[in-house]
Amino acid sequence: MKKLIFIILLISNMATAQIFECIDYQKAINQKTRSRTGMQGINYWQNRSEYKIYATIDVDNKMLVGEATITYFNQSPDTLKEITLKLYQNLYKNGAIRNVQIDKRDLHDGVYLKKMAIDKQIYIAENQPLQPAKVMLEGSNLIVNLQENLLPGNTTTIDIVWQLKIPEQSQHRKMGYYKDGAFFIGLWYPQVAVYDDIAGWDNIITYAGIQDFYNDFSNYDVYITAPENYMLWGTGKVMNEEEVYPPEVRQRLQLARTSDEVVTILEGPVSSSGKKSKSKLWHFSASDVTDFAFGMATDHTWEAGSIKATPGSGKRTFLEIVYHPENKGFAGKTELAKKSVKFFSSELPGYPFPFDKATIFNGLPVNTLAVEYPMITNMSFFEDEVFFKSMVAHKLFHNYFPFYMGINEKNCIWMDEGWAFYIADKLIDEPFLPYSISEIYSKFVGRSKDMPLMASSTYVIENNLPTQYFLKPFMAYSMLESLLGKEQFQYILQEYIDRWHGKHPTPYDFFYTIEDCLGQDLSWLWNPLFFEFGYPDLAIEKIEDHQIIIKKVGVIPVPVKLTVLYADGSSQVIEKNIEIWKNNDGQIAVNLLTDKKIDRAILGDKDIPDVNPQNNVYSTDSTLINNVN
């Protein structure tokens, strides 16, 4: 009898659907840093840094000279024998691996390290390693073997002096000189790589230009010297406003920060102070952020406003738009920024905006792209107004994902780009293409270049990027919402943010959080949407005696929407939740409780993805209608 019970339990466990767990995550489970409840394990940890940076911008020669003291906190249980720094501007180094086009006039010899010392022991002087065996440069990864191991709970201090050439011809969205004196400075300082409980040091892949980032939460104290005719906008708070802003600017800022009014802070060239000094020192401070970036310009228009975005809270979020005077389409977009933050805070995800402020800086040329950093985005002007509005909302949402959630964009960029795309679409709700997102998705999914979302984002090739970054996660989240309904969907998203903000969630933490909230095993949904090759395709198999057989030809489950047209001119719409596919053999029967003669049955609509619409229409004479459109 005991043997029989054991066999029954064994068969039951084997029949329970499961998702594939990579070995790295299994290790984290065993070490109790993660758990299958979607909560951090009792031994969860993450490291962090404190940056104190001094930088000088030479606008004439397009050079940046920097000096930093970085305090790195080893909060892991591991003894670290090495440390990795990111030198992202080695993207422009002669001979570097790149997956973006770079103007050859921007190429150089890489980031010049005048000095690098760790705990006062010098490792590099005048760009040469003093002990070559201890210093290894692999593209953008500077790996240093420590002379003294960094023990658990201890800190190390890195002192580094460097200089780099600011690209001016390539018009790259993440860093550069653009037009009429405008600069956007990102990826500009030596940054300590992430060391985490999943993969250890993030130093396997060099930065090649397309991929995004994975950073620890750190504190920044940044001092930037720039010509006095420049205004600067950046991550965090300006700490010395009285020294860098004239009185009229401070007065307008105060109005913008304390009222619902959108205020033009500045138009035209920045006035000279009349002082002998030709430069100004700007002091920025930001806490618990994953990066620091800034924009600077001499004659951009600057408008700003604020909003009480979170219901029941008197806290205001300050929003500002800074744009080239030629790009007048930016004018008034502060109201859209306010509307976006209000929607995020009260509707979806219905969670307070993570930061006190956000800036949209217009550096890039018209109709190019945009790139986000904590609290600031470098954005071009887009001539298509609906697409432009979508981009504003999209980029503002990134302050939640990845900058509040600490997501590894290199590995799972769909965890932030997909959410930004999905939620911005909910807000704007105006199509900027002649097809629905579902219809566009259906043209790409399941083709030869398609990959499961759980494949590392680092290996996504450029012409497949829109599918993997945006379309596939959009449809996955859409299917999840169709399963749960609006209220429960909002609830699980809020719970996920509650659990993992300020930390480093993986896809498994997302999946297990939702399952824990719902008390359900959703592997039947996770597997086809995230882990498996496949595509959505429902078909009308046959109609017989007022019974319609619908077959799931493709792997990916989707909701059922069946429109039945009767011979008397009447019609009936029958809808089935996606959950109908949870426990069946790949087909369902829809029984029509009527004696009316059926003329046609039509499956799906423009918002339900289907790679083969030709099998979605069936007539009563059992003839498949090949051309649905």
Region of 472 please: left (phi>0), alpha (psi -120 to 50) or beta: alpha
Closest CA to 333 of 299, 365, 377, 295: 377
Residues 6+ apart with CB under 8 A from 575: 559, 560, 561, 562
What does the alpha-carbon distance between residue 204 and residue 186 come to, in Å, rounded to a whole number? 22
How many residues would you count in the chain? 629
What does the alpha-carbon distance between residue 342 and residue 336 come to, in Å, rounded to a whole number? 10
Please say whether the beta carbons of 130 and 123 come within 8 A: yes
pLDDT of residue 367: 87
In the chain, the amino acid numbered 209 is: G
pLDDT of residue 441: 96
Closest CA to 38 of 29, 50, 47, 48: 29
Task: Mark out the alpha helices in 125-238 (DSSP H runs).
Answer: none
Closest CA to 501 of 357, 399, 605, 388: 399
What does the alpha-carbon distance between residue 504 and residue 496 come to, in Å, rounded to a whole number? 12
Please say whether the beta carbons of 280 and 228 come within 8 A: yes
3-state SS, one letter per residue, for 339-358: HHHHHHHHCCCCCCCCCCEE
DSSP codes joined into one string, 87-115: -GGGGGBTT---SS---GGG-BS--EEEE
Residue 502 phi/psi, 5-degree rounding, is: 75, 10
Helix H or strand E segment including 428: helix 414-428
In the chain, the amino acid numbered 187 is: L
Please say whether the beta carbons of 425 and 62 come within 8 A: no
Residues 6+ apart with CB under 8 A from 274: none
pTM metric for this prediction: 0.94
Residue 215 phi/psi, 5-degree rounding, is: -130, 155
pLDDT along the chain (629 residues), means of 10: 41 54 97 98 98 98 98 98 97 93 94 98 96 94 97 98 95 87 96 98 91 95 97 98 97 97 92 69 98 97 96 92 96 96 96 97 90 97 94 97 97 96 93 86 93 90 84 97 97 98 98 97 97 97 92 97 95 96 91 92 96 90 46
pLDDT of residue 277: 63
Which residue in the block uniquely carries the two structure tokens 């940056």? 51
Q: Order of strands, edge to edge, in the sheet holding 547-552?
A: 538-544, 547-552, 587-591
pLDDT of residue 622: 52
